Amino acid sequence: MGKILLTSGQVSILLSSCIIIVFTVVLFLSGYIIQQRTVYSLQAAIRPNLPKPLPIPKPIDPPTLDVKWARPMGARPEVDETVDQMIAGQTLDWSRLGYAQVVKEHEEVCSAIMLLADIHRMKSPARKILLFPRVWLRTSEDEGYDAEMTTTRRLLKTAARRYGVSLIPMETIVDNADESLPSSYSLASLYTLINYERIVYIQGPGSLLDASALDSLLAFSKSEPMAAYPASPERKALSTSLLLVHPSLQSYRQLKELRSAKPMGDLSLFRQAFAAPESLISEWSLSMGNVVYESQKLRDAVDGFNATVFKGATTYVRLSDPELPGPEYDVPYYLRVELRPENLEARGAWEALYERFRQRRMEVCGLDLEYWKRPVLEAGSPDSG
């Protein structure tokens, strides 16, 4: 009996020592954990702060990215990683993004500068570039006074000084071609701008209503050799009204070879070199409204057309009415009346676009509208006698 009692006493001692050991271990462990935590927070406290990723290089005025572009209709197709990165502001370097104009003849200089001036006025952070024939740099003192050349020089200086435009001389697209012919030059020269990652080209003459939408296109697109505005909604062919290009000497050489083999205009050249629909601006990018609108379409406006809504949804209007020589020309009033849209809202918008062009031409270039006479040879024309 005594032996058993002793044993149970031993058991109880054993039990209590076990309990003590367990508590000691628990106490030790909790102490250890607390200590480790303290060590971690100490380590964290003495570790230097990792630098945060650099913010986007701040342009003078950050672009207000347009909501039209941020919320397109429908789902966004397979998003490219690089696009997401760029949206995060990691790789957006505005000094490598630009708007370029290409002038091949004197008459185009003012309209090209007007577009770059619009981009400047709307405070786009992207660069502005003007490509012009190198032959214009040649001093022609012995050739006497050349009014066109004098105006062009004045305009180029204005572009550089007032609107911060980079002036870049270009060569003829075919080696040893006649430097004095506009047809010797090509939009393909855009591909020589290899210091830039992406370039937007807009075909003038026209009126830019919203630079921020184009800034978004420039900033948040993939770099591809060519992304052109489609010639029609069916997306069967490209047009040259709006181009987004990634300049590279490889593309330039290809175009130069094609063009050297056979004389052709820029539209044919680009259609041969770049297949549709692969080389068109994605439908997703164009789903926010009228990116490029031609003024002649205002004549098809139907009841319910709202000029305010039109302006809000339109990025760029190319002033192109086939019967008119261009917005640079002073067209007789009777002809305007014949051609202007019937719909009153659309007529207001159409007339305002041409009038704004006239005013801007005076402000930017100091030029009046050019004199224009309706061609005498026009079939069925009332004044053809």
Ligand X SMILES: *[C@@H]1O[C@H](CO)[C@@H](O)[C@H](O)[C@H]1NC(C)=O
Q: Which of 7, 150, 250, 306 binds ligand X (CB under 6 A)?
A: 306
Q: Minimum distance between the CB of residue 349 and ligand X, rounded to whole angstroms?
A: 11
> What does the buried/exposed string (b/e) look like for 307-346 if buried means 16 or more CB atoms within 10 Å of the residue's CB?
beebeebbbbbbbbbeebebbbeebeeeeeeeebbebebb
- Least spacing, CB of residue 308 vs ligand X, in Å: 4
d(CA 357, CA 361): 6
Q: Which stretch binds ligand X (CB under 6 A): 114-122, 145-153, 210-218, 303-311?
A: 303-311
Put the strands of the sheet holding 314-318 in their side by side order.
206-208, 314-318, 290-294
**Minimum distance from CB of 130 to ligand X (Å)?**
37
Cβ at position 342, least distance to ligand X in Å: 16
3-state secondary structure of 213: helix
Pair 372, 331: CB distance under 8 Å: yes
Binding segment toward ligand X, per CB under 6 A, in 13-21, 51-59, 208-216, 305-313: 305-313
- Beta strand 97-102 with 198-202 is parallel
Pairing status of strand 238-245 against strand 226-230: antiparallel
Decide if residue 352 touches ligand X (CB under 6 A): no
Return the residue nearest ligand X (CB atom): 306
Residue 309 engages ligand X in binding (rule: CB under 6 A):
yes
When the beta carbons of 261 and 309 are compared against ligand X, the nearer one is 309
Which is closer to ligand X, CB of 200 or CB of 298?
298
Query: Is 344 an interacting residue with respect to ligand X (CB under 6 A)?
Result: no
C-beta closer to ligand X: residue 10 or 306 = 306
Give the total of residues touching ligand X (CB under 6 A).
3
Nearer to ligand X, 274 or 305 (CB): 305
Which is nearer to ligand X, 305 or 354 (by Cβ)?
305
Least Å distance between CB 301 and ligand X?
A: 12
Which region among 116-124, 193-201, 232-240, 306-314 touches ligand X (by CB under 6 A)?
306-314
79 binds ligand X (CB under 6 A): no
Alpha helices in the chain (DSSP H): 2-46, 67-70, 81-87, 109-121, 147-163, 211-219, 249-261, 266-273, 283-286, 307-313, 333-339, 344-365
C-beta pairs of 148-157 under 8 Å, 24+ apart in sequence: 148/106, 149/106, 151/106, 151/109, 151/367, 152/106, 152/109, 155/109, 155/110, 155/113, 155/365, 156/109, 156/130, 156/132
Question: Of the ranges 43-51, 212-220, 270-278, 304-312, which one interacts with ligand X (CB under 6 A)?
Answer: 304-312
308: contact with ligand X by CB under 6 A: yes
**What is the C-alpha separation between 158 and 164, in angstroms, rounded?**
9
Q: Which is nearer to ligand X, 264 or 313 (CB)?
A: 313
What sign for the dihedral angle of Cα 80, 86, 91, 94? positive
Find, among 129, 308, 280, 307, the residue nearest to 217 by Cα: 280
Q: Specify the stretch interacting with ligand X by CB under 6 A; choose among 43-51, 74-82, 144-152, 301-309.
A: 301-309
**Looking at beta carbons only, is 6 or 309 nearer to ligand X?**
309
Interaction site with ligand X (CB under 6 A): 306, 308-309
